Structure 1
Amino acid sequence: MHWVETIPETTTGADRPPRRRRGRISSIEVLCGILLIAILGQSQLQSVLDVPALRTGSTVFVAVCVQALPFLVLGVLISGAIAAFVPARVLRRVLPRRESASVPVAGFAGVALAGCECASVPVARRLIGQGAAPAAALTFLLAAPAVNPIVLVATAVAFPGEPGMVLARFLGSLATAMAMGWLWARWGKLEWIAERALRRLPEVQGGDRWKTFAETARADLVDAGGFLVLGALVSAAMGVLVPAHWFGVLGEQVVVGIVVMAVLAVVLSLCSEADAFVAASLAPVPLLPKLVFLVVGPAIDIKLFALQAGTFGRSFALRFAPATFVVAIGCAVAAGLLVLGGVR
């Protein structure tokens, strides 16, 4: 089936984006400035706002940001390098022609090629645009941000006394990606994907590669950094405002805890390089609901739904997102029971 369409590249003066004004402060400088002030001025802020709850909240906020930021920076740098220097056709060439057989290959390719959720969507769109099987592209979309070495190392750092969390997250996330790929290969339809996502994308050429690298890394850092700060704020607020016995209920009511943490992962929309630190900060919550949080978040959340709807079309997102949510919960629970040895 030849359904890939080539679009001629045309560039006119009207199509060119306006040049940025020199000296303009962007959102990334604002984000770094706020984090720097929060880190360096923590003691001064505590003396001005000498309230125990605020001291506790500020400590949690700074700790989450400081722990997660190095992994986030490394992740967006790798994401930018992939966008600029690794053509998607390289992956397409190594994928088997049989759609169902290409799913596991694409899943394990996500282990080697790190990227955040925001970066995996355009990569998957590029794969489809170059003729790769949609099932393989969607498997890569789910696997790359969830099972890459950066995310696994961040999980190990966030849970130093629980090495099983790393293996459980790897197995749960990889199973989610491959299950969704096989489900698409069996029941997916091309008409669910918007026509614009099936068109060939121009390759990055020559001197534009470094520009693409810098712009992709900067954009991903701004997007993911904003969600990191938001997640840290929510984590700090929950640690201060929500009574500890409320989280204790999640341990007593396992099913409720799993559902609550799954919904929380969708709502918070954290970056996969940082979500482990937020989950680890919720000390009273058992490991199994935390694992569900870590598997569901990179698979589907609010920002991913918006990106999928904008890239592949609303018809696709309305079918793919709910199915991913259910499959991710099931795979996370199965991996937790298998690796963690039960509910704890």
Structure 2
Amino acid sequence: MTQPSTTDRPGPGDRVAPDRAGSHPFRLPWAFMVLVALLVAGRFLLAPHLTGPGLRTWATVFVAVCVQALPFLVFGVALSAAITSFVPASFWTRTLPRRTWAAVPVAGMAGAILPGCECASVPVASGLMARGVAAPAALAFLLASPAINPVVLVATAVAFPDDPEMVVARFAASLAVAVLAGWIWARFGRAAWLPAPRRPAEAGQGRVAAFLDTMRHDLLHAGGFLVVGALAAATLNVLIPRDWLTAVAGVPVVSVLVLALLAVLLSICSEADAFVAASLTAFSPTAKLAFLVVGPMVDLKLIALQAGTFGRAFTWRFAPLTLALAIGVSFVAGWMFL
């Protein structure tokens, strides 16, 4: 392996591969697996002993969010590590258009072929940026992938069997939000808000070893923020009164805003959110569409993952931008298609 040049040396904020002589590479993954096993076991062993209905609901939602999102998180981390370790950087420069304004919609459409939820899209987008993909294009992929992939669209069609327009509206609105967010970030974003992830390989380290090191680090890092997001989602799921939702369902504009906010708080995986939206029969189709568009792009666990992966300076700017675009585009798409 050729030695890295001085320009590839890690800076103060770059990730440095662990020292193999003094580290225990298999201890941390096993610790994470034990944590997952305890979550699953706790659902069946502790839930029967929880006396309060609110506490039981909280435990159910917390474990459900973690277990539901974990396979997709592992898939996304593995794909991200593979992109970083095995795919040469020149591949992305050849595949995507050189101009950022053209690369953004292409990257957004590429999200349609990856069957994963928002938990998978964050590490994959990080891996793309680490391989030289422009940040606006990677962000468009991050938003589009969990919202317009085939699994999500099929689930939406099953949840709304008598409303095929909902599938079209969800696809069009979600893709529009992803592309607009990418273009806006290309115009107004600053490099200081989103430093490009760098994962320099250790000298003499093979690609397989780099893949395993990267996957282990990202899985533990993103998994911790997933748990934080699940804790917040479970708590708010219990605190929001159902009667309050029913009362605001009849106010058109307010109902859209309420379901958009509810999507952020509940943090339901994009493969399952259509069935929840279909069950909200008191709300208008446009309000349900806002729930489906906002959820995969801005929710508590996704905000936590973005903050842990890209930093708070990025998250506090990008999440409000995405939320505003998702709500505005939902109004337009609801008027056009529903």
Report TM bin, short chain: 0.7 to 0.9
Matches within 5 A, 1:180-259: 180-193=181-194, 197-202=195-200, 205-206=207-208, 209=211, 242-243=242-243, 246-259=244-257
**2:232 and 2:314 mapped to 1: Cα distance?**
28
Q: Under a length normalisation based on structure 1, what TM-score does the superposition of the two structures give?
A: 0.72
Contact 1:38/1:62 (<8 A) preserved: no
Matches within 5 A, 1:1-344: 6-7=8-9, 11-13=18-20, 16-17=23-24, 19-20=26-27, 26-34=34-42, 75-76=72-73, 78-87=75-84, 89=89, 90-193=91-194, 197-202=195-200, 205-206=207-208, 209=211, 242-243=242-243, 246-339=244-337, 341=338
Q: CA deviation at 1:269?
A: 2.8
- Deviation per residue, 1:20-73 (Å, 9 max, x gap): 39997723223333556799x8xxx9xx99x9xx7xx999x989x99x999857
Q: CA deviation at 1:83?
A: 2.6
**1:164 and 1:226 mapped to 2: Cα distance?**
36
Q: Alpha carbon RMSD of aligned pairs, Å?
A: 4.2
Contact 2:78/2:215 (<8 A) preserved: yes
Q: CA deviation at 1:13?
A: 4.4
**1:62 and 1:302 mapped to 2: Cα distance?**
17
**1:315 and 1:233 mapped to 2: Cα distance?**
25
**1:210 and 1:200 mapped to 2: Cα distance?**
16
Structure 1 stretch 319-328 or stretch 6-15: which is displaced more?
6-15
CA 114–201 in structure 1, closer or farther in 2 if over 3 Å, else same: farther
Q: CA deviation at 1:322?
A: 1.5
CA 276–28 in structure 1, closer or farther in 2 if over 3 Å, else same: farther
Point out where structure 2 has 5 or more consecutive residues left out of the alignment.
1-5, 11-15
Q: CA deviation at 1:237?
A: 7.9
**1:225 and 1:140 mapped to 2: Cα distance?**
24
Contact 1:5/1:199 (<8 A) preserved: no
**2:30 and 2:74 mapped to 1: Cα distance?**
24
**2:127 and 2:67 mapped to 1: Cα distance?**
28
Q: CA deviation at 1:184?
A: 1.7
Point out where structure 1 has 5 or more consecutive residues left out of the alignment.
none
Matched residues, number: 319
CA 237–337 in structure 1, closer or farther in 2 if over 3 Å, else same: same
CA 211–15 in structure 1, closer or farther in 2 if over 3 Å, else same: closer
**2:100 and 2:274 mapped to 1: Cα distance?**
33
CA 229–192 in structure 1, closer or farther in 2 if over 3 Å, else same: closer
